[in-house]
């Protein structure tokens, strides 16, 4: 009897391991059937200093829960959990392949989003950058060259952010405070760096829904990752440009479906500054009821 149970356990274990291997394989395999130009041999403007997301990013090098509770006013991963609002965010742009397509969808659906901009890409693609601004989206700071800021000095990280700030400021000269938002490349950040950027006036913007679009998933998978995890006040992470050979076409394809599904459920789309306002309002009310 005992031996039979042992065999059964072994079989279940083997099946589970086989499943994991297949699943990993699905996640790793980039979409092959794309018809658009996947960027190859990136120019210096487009190169990501810390490497492509798919090679560098495992789990973000940070403890999300700790940072949210440690720095409720500085480290933001979601908005008010009572409001039916979500914020779409797009990292790593602009480029001239995927960002314009994202902008087309947002325009068509009349949705405003937040783009976390890589400074040197904005310099290289100033027309697309201008379009983001003209179409009333918000931008945040995603460093100048996309390094892993845990691997460079605090001073170098600060220079990465300030150089991008200088480039972005003229686009938002009427409301410079709106763009004091920092999203760390690869999501890697620690308490010391949260405080450091807090001291120079930045909010650190994380997310609580990850589309995992940088993994080269199908549009259906990107859509599922978003829709199955979205809640009131969610900040959703997608990308509007990639690293070398990175194909984001399925993320573009999923976007209108994601928007339509959330609209049908009554969600409103807001930019990060609005979702932060809501989050602070919720904090205030919570504190009042605790008194």
By CB under 5 A, name the binding residues for Zn ion. 91-92, 185
Count of other CB atoms within 10 angstroms of residue 175: 9
Distance CA 257, CA 230 (A): 14
> What is the spatial distance between Cα 249 and Cα 179, in angstroms, rounded to a whole number?
27
Is residue 239 part of the annotated active site? The answer reads: yes
Task: Compare residues 54 and 158 and give the one whose CB is closer to Zn ion.
Answer: 54
Q: How many CB atoms lie within 10 A of CB 192?
A: 9
Catalytic residue status for 91: yes
Nearer to Zn ion, 185 or 233 (CB): 185
Cβ(140)–Cβ(205) under 8 Å? yes
- Shortest CB 119 distance to Zn ion, Å: 12
Which listed residue (92, 148, 239, 247) is catalytic?
Answer: 239
Question: Is the Cβ of residue 75 or residue 182 nearer to Zn ion in the bound state?
Answer: 182
Instruction: Please check whether residue 39 is in contact with residue 95, taking contact to mean a CB–CB distance below 8 angstroms.
Output: yes
Q: Which of 80, 91, 95, 247 is catalytic?
A: 91
Nearest Cα residue to 91 out of 227, 277, 243 = 243
**Closest CB to Zn ion among 91 and 221?**
91
Residue 81 host element (H or E): none
Residues 270, 276: Cα–Cα separation, whole Å: 10
The tokens describing 32, both together, are 């092959």
Which residues are part of the catalytic machinery? 91, 239
């Amino acid at each position: 009897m005992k031996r039979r149970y042992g065999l059964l356990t072994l079989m279940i274990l083997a099946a589970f391991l086989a499943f994991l291997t297949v699943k990993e394989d699905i996640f790793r395999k980039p979409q092959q059937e794309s018809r658009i130009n996947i960027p190859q041999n990136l120019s210096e403007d487009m190169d990501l200093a810390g490497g492509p997301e798919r090679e560098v990013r495992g789990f973000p090098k940070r403890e999300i829960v700790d940072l949210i509770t440690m720095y409720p006013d500085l480290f933001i991963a979601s908005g008010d959990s009572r409001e039916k609002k979500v914020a779409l965010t797009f990292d790593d742009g602009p480029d001239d392949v995927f960002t314009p397509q994202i902008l087309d969808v947002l325009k068509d659906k009349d949705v405003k989003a937040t783009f976390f901009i890589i400074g040197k890409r904005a310099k290289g693609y100033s027309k697309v950058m201008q379009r983001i601004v003209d179409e009333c989206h918000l931008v945040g700071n995603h460093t100048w060259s996309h390094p892993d800021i845990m691997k460079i000095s605090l001073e170098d990280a600060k220079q990465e952010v300030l150089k991008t700030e200088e480039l972005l400021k003229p686009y938002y000269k009427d409301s410079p405070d709106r763009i004091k938002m920092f999203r760390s490349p690869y999501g890697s950040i620690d308490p010391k760096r949260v405080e450091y950027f807090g001291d120079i006036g930045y909010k650190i913007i994380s997310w609580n829904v990850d589309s995992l679009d940088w993994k080269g998933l199908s549009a259906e998978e990107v859509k599922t990752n978003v829709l199955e995890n979205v809640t009131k006040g969610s900040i959703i992470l997608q990308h509007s440009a990639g690293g070398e050979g990175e194909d984001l076409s399925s993320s573009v394809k999923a976007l209108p479906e994601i928007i339509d599904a959330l609209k049908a459920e009554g969600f409103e789309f807001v930019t990060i500054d609005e979702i932060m306002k809501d989050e602070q309002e919720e904090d205030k009310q919570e504190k009042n009821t605790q008194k």
